[in-house]
Each structure stands twice: as structure tokens, then as C-alpha cells.
Amino acid sequence: MKKDHFFNKIFLVLSLLILIPAVWLFSNIPETQVSHEAGFLVEKNFWFFLRDNVPPWLGTLLSFLYDLGDKEISGPVVGISLGLFIWKKQWKSVLLMTLGSGGALLLVDKVFKPIIGRPRPPYFMGEYGSVPDIAGASFPSGHATGNLVLYLILALLVTQNISRLRWLVFGAVVLFLFGIGLGSLYLGVHWPSDILGGYMLGFIWLTFCLFFVDLLAIFLNIDRNIDRSSPLNRSRK
């Protein structure tokens, strides 16, 4: 399908463009932020600007969007999606959702956060008011990584049969993800670079999953059994 090829190419090009900046960011975080008081001045200033200039109604909205990104919400979304894919025998979609969401969770919680070990901002530590009860390291943001992978996968799958609305759906997803990131910053649970790193990691990981699942489906010979609504199908003429 030409449109599927087109979107995969977009994902690949964007991933290649952000790969080097992502490597630089991930390799420099341990050196630039090693304590609660350390940090990029621009990141601290941005946080204070956000806290001082966001009106109450917008702060409430950002907090709500942050809550929507919690595992208590995204976990059931993944489970329901997998159930629907299995029911419809969309096996490539099952593979993509399992590898994408599960892999993102492992990369963040079991690989990068323990290795980098970046502390939460001092604003999160209670010096500047009450914040959500969150434990663990700060970089990269699990909210940013996991939700980007999850909702971009759903956007790819849902819009396969409504291609005219594809850009609208993707636009809404991008705004939602941006809101989750701003919510994390507004609540003081992450540095801006945590969010940026999470977006980068999630996008690169999703791109890898798209191509890997395509190859794996061919190897496992499940291509013929999948429902044709899957965006991962290829026309092989």
C-alpha cells in the first residue's frame, strides 16, 4: 500500500534526523545533571516561567493530561487494544503493540533510568510545593516514551480505513502527547530534557518496531492471516 510505504518512510527519515541529537542527549545527561541542584539554566528558567505564567484553568488541564498518561490509563488501553486485535486476528497489530509498548516500558524502566540515574528536579522533591507521589529516576520520561509509542501505533492502525482523517488524527495525537509533556513539566516531575529524550527514544523505538514486525511477520508467515485493515500490510505485486 503506497500510503503505508509513505508513512514508514516518514518515520524512518525523522528517526534518522533525530538519532544523532538523541545519542548526544543521552550521553551528556549524566555529566550535566548529577544532583538535585544541577541542571541546565534554561531548563530551570523554563520551569519557573511555566509555573508563574500558566493560568489556573490551563494548569488544571495540564494536570489532567498528565494523569491521562499514567499507567493506570495506558495499561488498560493496551490491554483492550490487544484484545480487539486478537479477536479480529490482526496478528501483526498484536506483534506491534506488544513489542512497541512492552519494549518501551523495559527500555525506560530497566535500561536507561537505572543506568543514567538522573534525580528528579528539586521542584519535585518538595521544595516548591506539593507534587504527585512519584518515585524513580527522571531521565528519560516514561510518560513521554510510552504514550508516544502507544498512541502513534493506535493512530496508524485506526486511520487505515479512514485515510482522509489520518492527518487530523495524527495532529490530535501530537497535541495530546505535547500536553502530557507540558503537564509533566508543570507538575515539576521532569526536566524539559527528560521529555525531549522520551519523545526521541519513543519515536526511534517505534520506527524500529514498524520495520522489525514487518520482517518478523514475513518470517513467521502470518502475513496472509492478518486482517487487511492493518496498516502494516504490504502489497507485494
Cβ(156)–Cβ(211) below 8 Å: no
> Cell for 42?
534554561
Q: For 136, which DSSP code?
A: S
Residue 35 has what pLDDT?
A: 46
- Counting as low any pLDDT under 50, the low residues of the chain are 1-2, 34-38, 125-130, 224-237
In angstroms, the CA 200 to CA 21 distance is 9
Residue 136's nearest CA partner among 104, 107, 155, 114 is: 114
Residue 188 has what pLDDT?
A: 83
Q: What is the pTM of this model?
A: 0.81
Residue 32 has what pLDDT?
A: 52
Residue 144's nearest CA partner among 66, 33, 50 is: 66
Residue 26 has what pLDDT?
A: 77
Conformation bin of residue 140: beta by default, left when phi > 0, alpha when psi is -120 to 50: beta
Is the CA virtual torsion 224, 228, 229, 230 positive or negative? positive
Which structural domains are found in the chain, ordered by start? 2-27+51-225 (1.20.144)
Residue 128 has what pLDDT?
A: 42
pLDDT tens readout for residues 34-68: 444 445 677 777 877 887 888 888 888 988 999 89
In angstroms, the CA 192 to CA 47 distance is 8
Q: Which residues of 101-126 are buried (b: 16+ CB within 10 A; e: fewer)?
A: bebbbebbeeebbeebebbbbbbbee
